Amino acid sequence: MASVNKVIIVGNVGADPELRQAGPKPVCNFRVACNEKWKDKSGQMQERTEWVSVTAWDKLGELCATHLSKGRQVYVEGKLQTRKWTDKEGVERFTTEVNASSVVFLGKGEANGNVKARPGAAATAPDEDFPF
């Protein structure tokens, strides 16, 4: 039986991305707010925000650190990954994040428009067929 681990999110960056070195590789971490709105049974509008942690490695991470900033809309494709880490008190913790394979910078920002970034490739103009 085959399985698929693919995530697509569109939302706004919650804070400026953080770029650091993980050994020889650059890695960029940022959070994306995905908002959901609906009417409840009484007709009142409700809203919920889901915060998604995203990790982008190598050139993709460098591009995210350069072009993303707080409030910028972003489209992310990747896979869910859970990792274990130990906090300062020695307690083992788990975190689930999206390991990005493709990022599209939407809206206005430092890049002055949309930029599409994939690992191992330089940023390019957006695809005309892209639905956003």
In a domain, 75, yes or no: yes
Distance CA(83)–CA(115), nearest Å, equals 29
Return the closest-CA partner of residue 10 out of 111, 95, 124, 102.
102
**DSSP H or E segment with residue 28:** strand 25-39
In a domain, 127, yes or no: no
Distance CA(119)–CA(104), nearest Å, equals 12
In a domain, 131, yes or no: no
Query: For 30, which DSSP code?
Result: E
In a domain, 126, yes or no: no
In a domain, 2, yes or no: no
Neighbours of 109 (CB within 10 A): 19
Rg (CA), the chain: 16
Per-residue pLDDT of the chain (132 residues; tens, 9 = 90+): 899 999 999 999 999 999 999 899 999 999 999 999 999 999 999 999 999 999 999 999 999 999 999 999 999 999 999 999 899 999 999 999 999 999 999 976 544 445 556 555 444 334 433 333
In a domain, 129, yes or no: no
In a domain, 107, yes or no: yes
